[in-house]
C-alpha cells in the first residue's frame, strides 16, 4: 500500500485536539480545569474539544459562553432513540440542550464493557447527525487482530457497518478516530508510521464509501497513549488530523502542552480555531 505521503496536505484540514475525560472530574473540578485552560488557549490555532461527564456538560458550556472561549464541549456517549423508556440512558437532544456540540461514539470501552456492536453504533451516528451533534466515531483493532494481520479487514468492517446508509454529504460531518485498542491506556502508543498507515487505509476506504473529495475533507484523529512527547510526531503525519486523548487530557497543564504541540505543527497558522464552524450539520 502507498504510504499516504502523496495525500492532500494534512494542514488543509483543521487540527482537532480532543480530550476524553471518561468517568473523571466532578462539576467542581471540571470548572477548575476550565478556569486554568481558558486563558491559555485563547490564541490556539487548533479546534479544542472536551468530552466530559454528562453532569459537567451544562455548567461547562455555560462557563465557556460567559468567557467567550473557543473550547467546545461534548459527550462521551448517547442512545440512538430520540426518547423513550430506556432507564439510565440519554438522548442527543438532551445533550444539545445542555450545550454539547459533539459526541464520542463506538469507543472501545463502550464496545468491550457495554457490548455495543457496529449496528447499534451506526444507529447512534445517524441519530447524532439528525439531532445536531457532530459524531466522533471510534474504530480500531485488538492486538490479536493486528498480530493475525487482520487490521485492515477489521477497520473496513467497522467503517462499512458503522457508516452504513449515511449519505456522502453527511459523512463530511463525521470525525473519525483511529484508536488501536492495544494502545489505549497502555502507555504503548502506535508509532507515527503505524498510525499513518492505518489512517491512510481508512481515508482510501472512506473514498470508496463517499468519494475522494469527501474522504479528503474528513478529519481522522489518532487515539491511544498520546502524551506531550509523542503528540508532534503523530501530528506530523499527513493523514493524522488530530488527537483523541484520555489520561493526558485530565490535567489542564498537560492538555495545554499538547495543544501547544499542535500550534507548533508547521502550516497550522492558517487554520484558525473556530468553534462556530466546528459543527455545521
Within 211-250, the residues that bind ligand PEP by CB under 6 A are 223-226, 244-248
**Cα 34 to chain center, whole Å?**
19
Strand partners, 77: none
Residue entry with cell 440512558: 89
Q: Which residue among 25, 79, 107, 200 is the active-site one?
A: 107
Contacts of 251 (CB under 8 A, 6+ apart): none
What minimum distance in Å lies between the beta carbon of 169 and ligand PEP? 28
Which of 39, 185, 211, 267 is close enough to bind ligand PEP by CB under 6 A?
A: 185
Q: Which residue is nearest to ligand PEP (CB)?
A: 246
Residue 62 in contact with residue 52, Cβ under 8 Å? no
Strand partners, 16: 47, 242
Closest listed residue to residue 127, CA positions, set 91, 159, 158: 91
What minimum distance in Å lies between the beta carbon of 226 and ligand PEP? 5
Nearer CB in complex with ligand PEP: 207/233: 233
17 binds ligand PEP (CB under 6 A): no
What minimum distance in Å lies between the beta carbon of 181 and ligand PEP? 10
Tell me how far CA of residue 83 lies from CA of 87, 131, 164, 188, 213, in angstroms: 11, 12, 22, 40, 35
Which of 179, 197, 239, 265 is close enough to bind ligand PEP by CB under 6 A?
A: 179
SS (H, E, C) 219-271: CEEEECCCCHHHHHHHHCCCCCCEEEECHHHCCHHHHHHHHHHHHHCCCHHHC
* 204 counts as catalytic: no
Which of 45, 64, 184, 268 is close enough to bind ligand PEP by CB under 6 A?
A: 184
* 179 counts as catalytic: yes
114 binds ligand PEP (CB under 6 A): no
Nearer CB in complex with ligand PEP: 92/184: 184
45 binds ligand PEP (CB under 6 A): no
Residue entry with cell 456538560: 57
What are the residues binding ligand PEP (CB under 6 A)?
20, 179, 184-185, 223-226, 244-248
Amino acid at each position: 500500500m502507498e504510504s499516504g505521503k502523496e495525500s492532500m496536505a494534512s494542514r488543509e484540514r483543521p487540527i482537532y485536539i480532543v480530550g476524553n475525560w471518561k468517568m473523571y472530574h466532578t462539576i467542581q473540578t471540571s470548572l477548575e480545569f476550565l478556569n486554568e485552560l481558558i486563558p491559555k488557549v485563547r490564541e490556539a490555532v487548533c479546534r479544542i474539544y472536551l468530552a466530559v461527564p454528562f453532569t459537567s456538560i451544562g455548567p461547562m458550556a455555560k462557563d465557556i459562553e460567559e468567557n467567550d472561549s473557543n473550547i467546545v464541549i461534548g459527550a462521551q456517549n448517547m442512545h440512538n432513540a430520540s426518547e423513550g423508556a430506556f432507564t439510565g440512558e440519554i438522548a442527543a437532544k438532551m445533550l444539545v440542550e445542555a450545550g454539547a456540540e459533539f459526541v464520542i461514539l463506538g469507543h472501545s470501552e463502550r464496545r468491550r464493557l457495554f457490548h455495543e456492536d457496529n449496528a447499534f453504533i451506526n444507529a447512534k451516528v445517524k441519530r447524532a447527525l439528525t439531532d445536531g451533534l457532530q459524531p466522533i466515531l471510534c474504530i480500531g483493532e485488538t492486538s490479536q487482530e493486528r498480530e493475525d494481520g487482520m487490521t485492515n479487514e477489521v477497520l473496513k468492517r467497522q467503517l462499512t457497518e458503522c457508516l452504513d446508509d449515511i449519505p456522502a454529504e453527511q459523512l463530511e460531518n463525521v470525525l473519525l478516530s483511529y484508536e488501536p485498542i492495544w494502545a489505549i491506556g497502555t502507555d504503548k502508543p502506535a508509532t507515527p508510521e503505524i498510525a499513518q498507515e492505518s489512517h491512510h487505509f481508512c481515508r482510501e476506504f472512506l473514498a470508496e464509501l463517499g468519494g475522494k473529495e469527501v474522504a479528503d475533507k474528513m478529519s481522522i484523529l489518532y487515539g491511544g497513549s498520546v502524551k506531550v512527547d509523542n503528540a508532534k510526531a503523530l501530528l506530523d503525519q499527513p493523514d493524522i488530523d488530530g488527537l483523541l486523548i484520555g489520561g493526558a487530557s485530565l490535567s489542564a497543564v498537560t492538555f495545554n502542552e499538547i495543544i501547544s504541540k499542535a500550534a507548533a505543527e508547521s502550516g497550522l497558522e492558517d487554520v484558525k480555531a473556530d468553534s462556530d464552524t466546528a459543527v455545521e450539520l
